Amino acid sequence: MTTKPILVALDYDNKNHALQLIDRLDPNMCRLKIGKEMFTLFGPQLVKDIHDRGFDLFLDLKFHDIPNTVAKAVAAAAELGVWMTNVHASGGLAMMEAAKKALLPYGDKAPLLIAVTVLTSMSDADLKLLGINVPAFEHVQRLAKLTQQAGLDGVVCSAQEATVLKTLLGKEFNLVTPGIRPVGSDAGDQHRVMTPPQAIAAGSDYLVIGRPITQAADPLAALQAIHQSLK
Ligand X SMILES: O=c1ccn([C@@H]2O[C@H](COP(=O)(O)O)[C@@H](O)[C@H]2O)c(=O)[nH]1
Is 11:38 a contact under the CB 8 Å cutoff? yes
210 is in an annotated binding site: yes
CB of 212 to ligand X, least distance (A): 6
- In the bound complex, which residue of the shown chain has the CB atom lying closest to ligand X? 210
Is 171:2 a contact under the CB 8 Å cutoff? no
* Of 174 and 190, CB closest to ligand X: 190
DSSP code for 111: P
Alpha-carbon span 172 to 150, nearest angstrom: 15
CB of 50 to ligand X, least distance (A): 15
CB of 3 to ligand X, least distance (A): 21
From the list 2, 68, 12, the residue with the least C-alpha distance to 35 is: 12
Backbone torsions φ then ψ of 117, nearest 5 degrees: -90, -90
Q: Tell me the catalytic residues.
A: 62
91 is in an annotated binding site: no
51 is in an annotated binding site: no
Binding residues for ligand X, rule: CB under 6 A, are 9, 11, 35, 116, 119-121, 156, 178-179, 188, 190, 208-211
* Of 11 and 138, CB closest to ligand X: 11
DSSP code for 110: S
209 is in an annotated binding site: no
From the list 117, 115, 118, 119, the residue with the least C-alpha distance to 98 is: 115
Which residues are annotated as part of the binding site for substrate? 11, 33, 60-69, 120, 181, 190, 210-211
